[in-house]
Amino acid sequence: MKETLAQQGATYGYEDFIGSIDDFENSYSPDINPKTYFGFPLIPILNAEKALLSTDVKSVAYFSMEYGIAPSIYHSFGLSRPLDEKNQFFNHEVFSNYWLCDYIFKIQIDKTLDIPLYGGGLGVLAGDAIKSSADLGYSVAGIGILWNKGYFKQNFWYKHGQVPEEMTWNPRRYPGLIPLKTMVTVKTKEGELHLRVWKYYIYSWDQERVCPILLIDSNLPQNPEHFRKLSDQLYRSDHPWWKIFQRIILGIGGVKALESVGYSIDCYHLNEGHAALSILEKYISSEEKNHPGSVRKNFVYTCHTPVAAGHDRFPVGEVEKILLPEYGQAAHQFGKEFPHSDQINLTFMSLNTCPKVNAVAVKHGEIMRMQFPLFAQKIISITNGVHIHTWMSESFKKLLDQYESVFGDWRRSPENLSRIRDLRDDQHFRQNLFAAHQVNKRNLMTLLKPWGLEEDVFTLAWARRIAGYKRPALIFHNFQRVVDMAYQLGKVQLILAGKAHPNDNIGAAHIDEILEHIDAVNEHGKVIKVLILENYDTYFGKLLTNCVDVWLNNPLPPFEASGTSGMKAILNGVLQLSTLDGWVVEAEHDDIGWIFGYRHQGPDIGSEADLRLEEDSAALYQILESVIRLYYATNRQGTINAQSPWLDKMINCVARGGYFNAQRMMQEYFEKMWH
């Protein structure tokens, strides 16, 4: 079958493409024609399909449990009919120390809901990786799961913290998403699991190239009810049964999906161990047993976290209840840390089988080699990056274009951002740089208008997944200190956002604690405004990383493998107030802001539970005082002192964006992992 499909590759055309789509005539013909695909050019799709079908082109399959693609901020597809109500952004509520306002107003965003296939930074990174692959013209297909109910919808209830709610959207009517006729079946001890394959296309910034993402879906009438729900919720974790089956869909279903669409894959990239069962599928369906190593050599693995909760381990008994004996045996062979272990460990399986393995920052590489000494030799570091075309604001893009003689073709060569240093002594440029920042800041103020934020007031944000080691409530540890500063040095605006995993009670407790702290500063609303926004997502991710003055990042070292939100911020001249962890270690001497708190050293990783809140909050307050002073020496009620060192730091930030971007990252993957 593969032969004939590969031969088809040479002649693959429009008819083949629409012939592959389920219910094309009724549902998709208004938006797809020989010229366009939901308002985008169709030719790049045919080219990408041809390349993936061809045995002459080296192609990569990139497996990821989640994808944060964010069409609301990058390449929104068009739709010829009105948007389904379920695919519209829902209203976001705000909890602030101005509760009357929270009560009356909600944030309304009049856009297509971002396709809800992600939970946090891992997914956003996967989205950025595929986008940059398209930019670079690599032949890459993403593999993921079509989460019929997304991750979850977050509500804040005072005195309760986070109350999760099931999310709904309509995949059949989502712009740019198409169901294929292709179906695959995975056999298990619990019966056959039927899966449908969908596609979503990611265009390069100039719309000349694309990469597809294959999305696998178990919500089919031919499946029993409990199987249909498997692809409902990302990271459902109330029983190992859900987790094991979701990983079967991604790994085993993923390999079968690639084969059934006929793609000729040379390299299988596991973005996290979630997809490790793909190794078993290739192993069992191949000649590997006769030619040891022949299959495994094509796999590469990226590990994204040193935190224990990020590594999948399942009781052998649970795995054996589900996997057919052949697969079970292979799972024993590759996935047990030691012969008598009663767990199948997907991290170990990936480390054990993949000849190439990478950590996501230099520091994370060190930590990973400590954690897995047996595999230390093959662990390299490829530092994360972010997709510039998604995360840089319009006002900054415009500014770079104004100085074309300096930045040249920065859209194709993002490393050119480092040339911003040549403009350091240009007073006019420094004024323009701050003005571009103020444009972004005003966007935020407009969205949050009812809360009366001010553009010339010092604004700080903390926004990311709510997880213990990220210390979401660090700044609240002795919040009176910050209130005092607001009275003594100038007003302060603090904005927070983030979701905790719905089964993470500690995370929910953090949110409850934050709500309490916010409520406690009600009477100081004249000098300090504190807001936490519901449903942190890629849309808010872009808004906040663009618009505030300072980005607060305070994970407990060394548990933040990389972190990427700060990279989005530096592209927009937003200064970093950070502990020394993840990517920040590589920018320690670049003067992109301020570094504070505990420094990790030595061969011991330490404990995730020892949060060092007392010492590190004290360090934070001490440095925050000088940050606020410098801010008000730079922005004097709207009069900008462009000679201020604040502007030098902004310049250093943008300059480092020339390195911490996803194009550089994907070039490294290409050279060091895929070759």
For ligand PLP, the binding residues (CB under 6 A) are: 120-121, 124, 464-465, 536-538, 541, 563-565, 568
Question: Judged by CB, which is closer to ligand PLP: 154, or 353?
Answer: 154
Question: Judged by CB, which is closer to ligand PLP: 17, or 536?
Answer: 536
Helices (H), 521-579: 538-547, 565-570
Minimum distance of ligand PLP from residue 464's CB (angstroms): 4
CB 500 within 8 A of CB 120: no
Sign of CA dihedral 401, 407, 411, 414: negative
Question: Judged by CB, which is closer to ligand PLP: 255, or 360?
Answer: 360
Dist CA 216 CA 325 (whole Å): 24
Question: Judged by CB, which is closer to ligand PLP: 569, or 650?
Answer: 569
Minimum distance of ligand PLP from residue 629's CB (angstroms): 26
Minimum distance of ligand PLP from residue 120's CB (angstroms): 4
Six-digit token string for 642: 């462009």
| Token pair 């003005």: residue | 435
Minimum distance of ligand PLP from residue 365's CB (angstroms): 17
Task: State the residue number with the nearest CB to ligand PLP.
Answer: 541
Under DSSP, the state recorded for 644 is S
Question: Judged by CB, which is closer to ligand PLP: 121, or 658?
Answer: 121
CB 492 within 8 A of CB 527: yes
Minimum distance of ligand PLP from residue 446's CB (angstroms): 20
Best CA proximity match to 163, nearest among 93, 72, 98: 93
Question: Judged by CB, which is closer to ligand PLP: 49, or 66?
Answer: 66
Reading phi first (left if > 0) and then psi (alpha if -120 to 50, else beta), residue 582 is in left
Minimum distance of ligand PLP from residue 400's CB (angstroms): 21
Minimum distance of ligand PLP from residue 271's CB (angstroms): 15
Dist CA 578 CA 593 (whole Å): 8
Six-digit token string for 291: 């030619």
Minimum distance of ligand PLP from residue 466's CB (angstroms): 10
Question: Judged by CB, which is closer to ligand PLP: 21, or 552?
Answer: 552
How many beta carbons lie within 10 A of that of residue 566, not counting itself? 29
Residues 125, 415, 647: CA angle, nearest 5 degrees? 95
Dist CA 299 CA 62 (whole Å): 10
Dist CA 550 CA 635 (whole Å): 14
| Token pair 């004996």: residue | 325
Question: Judged by CB, which is closer to ligand PLP: 182, or 546?
Answer: 546
- Helix then strand count (H, E) for the chain reads 24, 24
Question: Judged by CB, which is closer to ligand PLP: 537, or 549?
Answer: 537
| Token pair 């935020």: residue | 444
Question: Judged by CB, which is closer to ligand PLP: 194, or 387?
Answer: 387
Dist CA 75 CA 54 (whole Å): 28
Torsion of CA 130, 134, 138, 139, to 10 degrees: 80
Cα-flanking dihedrals φ and ψ of residue 534, to 5°? Answer: -70, 155
Minimum distance of ligand PLP from residue 124's CB (angstroms): 5
Reading phi first (left if > 0) and then psi (alpha if -120 to 50, else beta), residue 108 is in beta
Minimum distance of ligand PLP from residue 521's CB (angstroms): 25
Dist CA 661 CA 129 (whole Å): 10
CB 566 within 8 A of CB 584: yes
Minimum distance of ligand PLP from residue 568's CB (angstroms): 6
Complete edge-to-edge strand list for the sheet that includes strand 575-578: 94-96, 528-533, 492-497, 458-463, 550-553, 575-578, 593-595
Question: Judged by CB, which is closer to ligand PLP: 299, or 559?
Answer: 559
Question: Judged by CB, which is closer to ligand PLP: 245, or 536?
Answer: 536
Minimum distance of ligand PLP from residue 311's CB (angstroms): 18
